[in-house]
Structure 1
Amino acid sequence: MKLIPFVLSLLFFTLLFSCGAEKEENEALKEQVIAIHDEVMPEIGHLKNQQSKLIEKANSLENEASVASYREDLNLAAQSCESAYDNMFVWMRQFKSEYDEMSEEETKAYLMEQLRMVEKVKVDILSAKSTADSLLNVSI
């Protein structure tokens, strides 16, 4: 009979600490999501600037048939910059930073999905920026 209170106490403390560990894991996931956002957000201004330069350069080559392919690459890169820019703000608008109405498991699933989404935003931004930089450094 003395074993039952001990087992119940052990079970209680096990549950208590496992919930705390899940909460800490979710907090770490949230910090990882925010860190990725914070890493690429400063690139947004540069991305818009590069987009403008790409469009300007493409327009300046409008009457030159010999560089039609390059002009098309400039326009595609400008579209990629616009898309990456828009995707960042779409992601930011839908991101929830409070999870009071979610269980720890739901919060973890939500944050894992947000991590996947913000990593894609990061890849899109860095790729668009790299392509724009390369195309703008071509001299004709």
Structure 2
Amino acid sequence: MLAGMLLLAGCRGEKKQEAKDAPSQMEEVIAVHDEVMPEMKTIANLVAELKPLADSTGQDSQYAVAMQDLQAAHQSMMDWMQGFGNRFDHEEIMKGKALSQEKQAWLAEEQEKVEAMRNQVLGSIERAREVLEEAREGADRE
């Protein structure tokens, strides 16, 4: 009986530790931002590569479309950061300050938004790289 109680108490302690070790929803949202933020430089570099191709082939070319997608993804990141910063203060974001029910609902919305923004950023980068690779292959054939 005593062994059973010790086992049960040990399990409860492990669950508390797991809960403490599990990232909070705020930490998850910030982690997505932190994953995507370095890609802003990638976007700038790809736009710089695409611009001469887009300028020489026209506004409806695959190069111009890829460039516009990258620029829209960059703007999406900037818009998300501004909106997020308007909803939450430094203490809530960085120090784990408790959120009101309203802000907890906002955080759920922001998690969806940041994930959509990540998909937009990473997708636009992937498509731009594919377009540039096709251009390089075409130039190699000539």
TM-score over 0.5 (shorter chain): yes
* Structure 1 length-normalised TM: 0.68
What is the rounded CA distance, in whole Å, between the counterparts of 1:56 and 1:121 in structure 2?
27
For residue 32 of structure 1, report the CA deviation from its aligned partner.
0.5
For residues 21-74 of structure 1, the C-alpha deviation after alignment (integer angstroms, 9 at most, x for no partner) is: xxx8xx711100000000010001111110121121222345xxxxx9xx6111
Q: Once structures 1 and 2 are overlaid, which stretch shifts more, 120-129 or 88-97?
A: 88-97
What one-letter code is carried by the residue in structure 2 that aligns with 1:94?
A: G
For residues 115-135 of structure 1, the C-alpha deviation after alignment (integer angstroms, 9 at most, x for no partner) is: 011111100000000000000
Gaps of 5+ in 1: 1-23, 63-67
What is the rounded CA distance, in whole Å, between the counterparts of 2:63 and 2:55 in structure 1?
9
1:34 aligned to 2:23? no
* Structure 2 length-normalised TM: 0.67
Match of 1:112 in 2: 108
1:44 aligned to 2:40? yes
Match of 2:52 in 1: 56
Secondary structure at the counterpart of residue 61 of structure 2: helix
For residue 102 of structure 1, report the CA deviation from its aligned partner.
5.7
What is the rounded CA distance, in whole Å, between the counterparts of 1:49 and 1:76 in structure 2?
16
Gaps of 5+ in 2: 1-19
What is the rounded CA distance, in whole Å, between the counterparts of 1:31 and 1:101 in structure 2?
13
Q: Counterparts of 1:87-126 in structure 2 under 5 Å? A: 87-96=76-85, 97-98=88-89, 103=100, 105-126=101-122
What is the rounded CA distance, in whole Å, between the counterparts of 1:58 and 1:76 in structure 2?
8
RMSD of aligned Cα (Å): 2.3
Secondary structure at the counterpart of residue 48 of structure 2: helix
What is the rounded CA distance, in whole Å, between the counterparts of 1:43 and 1:37 in structure 2?
10
What is the rounded CA distance, in whole Å, between the counterparts of 2:131 and 2:62 in structure 1?
8
For residue 93 of structure 1, report the CA deviation from its aligned partner.
1.1
